[in-house]
Homo-oligomer: A and B are copies of this chain.
């Protein structure tokens, strides 16, 4: 279960198109920082700043092996955000199911009366 602060950080990290593009890239497999920076028209410090936001949110992890820092997706974190949203969506849909069941029961009761 994610706490409020973690959710704040994750959604904040996802609220930027460059960071989402980085995540998209990393979902295809781990990448070095320079590979990750490649397609972006921004300075390396800007890339590193976005990467830091992603890392602090827990969505991405980085590991330095020798002189290369490799970035990869933290799938567990991605799944946690997904579950958070799914729980809300299903709560909302369950409400309609209950309403539907109630109305069906009302109609059936009405028919029995006749």
Measured CB to CB, the residues of A under 8 A from B are 4, 7-8, 11-12, 14-17, 20, 23-24, 26-29, 73, 75, 78-79, 81-82, 85-86, 88-89, 91-93, 95
Q: In the complex, A7→B19 CA distance in Å?
A: 12
The oligomer's copy count stands at 2
Contact A89 B78 (CB under 8 A): yes
Chain A interface main SS type: helix
Q: How far is the CA of A88 from the CA of B28 in the complex (A)?
A: 9
Kindly list the 3 A-B residue pairs having the minimum CB-CB distance in the complex, ordered from nearest: A11-B15, A11-B14, A12-B15
Q: Which residue of B has the minimal Cβ distance to A75? A: B92
- CB neighbours (8 Å) of A81 from chain B are 85
Name the distance in Å between A106's Cβ and chain B's nearest Cβ. 18
Residue among B23, B29, B89, B92 making CB contact with A95, cutoff 8 Å:
B29
Beyond contacts A8-B17, A27-B92, A85-B85: 8 other A-B pairs, Cβ-Cβ < 8 A, are A8-B15, A11-B12, A29-B95, A75-B89, A75-B93, A78-B85, A81-B85, A82-B82
